[in-house]
Amino acid sequence: SQLAEENPWALSVHEGESVTVNCSYKTSITALQWYRQKSGEGPAQLILIRSNEREKRNGRLRATLDTSSQSSSLSITATRCEDTAVYFCAPSGGSNYKLTFGKGTLLTVTP
Amino acid sequence: ETAVFQTPNYHVTQVGNEVSFNCKQTLGHDTMYWYKQDSKKLLKIMFSYNNKQLIVNETVPRRFSPQSSDKAHLNLRIKSVEPEDSAVYLCASRGLGGRDAETLYFGSGTRLTVL
């Protein structure tokens, strides 16, 4: 079974709007990572938020983490067409370090 | 800036053939991975090598075999491909310290189509 799951499965917004992707996970973590994968590329990390942090920002991106409910969110403000991608959350920690990903949220930003 | 290089970008082959994919990282990392991404974008880890030693080997068919000549290279060979092997194969690397200890750096993938 999946250790992490993003929702919704897909989102569509217009440029300039804000959007939030949610993540629930089922394992103990040392950190929660968010990755973005654009078409034809591999995933690239956006934000890494540690288990003792509740919020982390990176430009237009803001991630939150609630370890008590095992959930996280990624918000993007002032979206741009180039934000169109699949967004993954990945809980990290544990032995052998196998980073597992959720199924992803497909975000489409239209002009 | 790309630091994990995969070749080829695409490969089309027929059932039963053998294929090999190459991956090289220039980040000086010690750990490298192969992931398989299906048509629904689900990413599944296949193998992980640390300094040429296999440390993670998920349940994958025996026709898949990773090959590492040094810590900067991790190739993937598939003997006798099957239709279900059609997917994007992603190589990644991870460092030892600081943020790199938890961040995976991915290549752009090799898309395999089995006819």
Least confident window among A73-87, A90-104, B9-23:
A90-104
- How many Cβ atoms are within 10 Å of A111's Cβ, its own excluded? 7
Contact residues, chain B, for A104 at CB < 8 Å: 41-42
pLDDT tens, chain B, 115 aa long: 669 999 999 999 999 999 999 999 999 999 999 999 999 999 999 999 888 888 878 888 999 999 998 999 999 999 999 999 999 999 999 987 766 678 999 999 999 999 9
Instruction: Give the tokens for residue B107.
Output: 């290549």
Using DSSP bridges, classify how beta strands A44-50 and A31-37 pair: parallel, antiparallel or unpaired: antiparallel
Averaged over A62-83, what is the pLDDT?
97
Instruction: Give the tokens for residue A95.
Output: 């032995």
Is there a contact between A99 and B45 if contact means CB atoms under 8 Å apart?
Answer: yes
Instruction: Give the tokens for residue B4.
Output: 């994990």
Task: Note whether A39 contacts B: Cβ–Cβ < 8 A.
Answer: no
Q: Which of B4, B43, B103 sits opposite A45 (nearest CB)?
A: B103
Give the pLDDT of residue B58: 81
Averaged over A11-35, what is the pLDDT?
95
Give the pLDDT of residue A93: 80
Q: Which domains does chain A have, with CATH numbers?
A: 4-110 (2.60.40.10)
- How many Cβ atoms are within 10 Å of B9's Cβ, its own excluded? 11
Q: List the CATH number of the domain containing B73.
A: 2.60.40.10
Domain residues for B81?
4-114
Q: How many domains does chain B have?
A: 1
Alpha-carbon span A71 to A6, nearest angstrom: 10
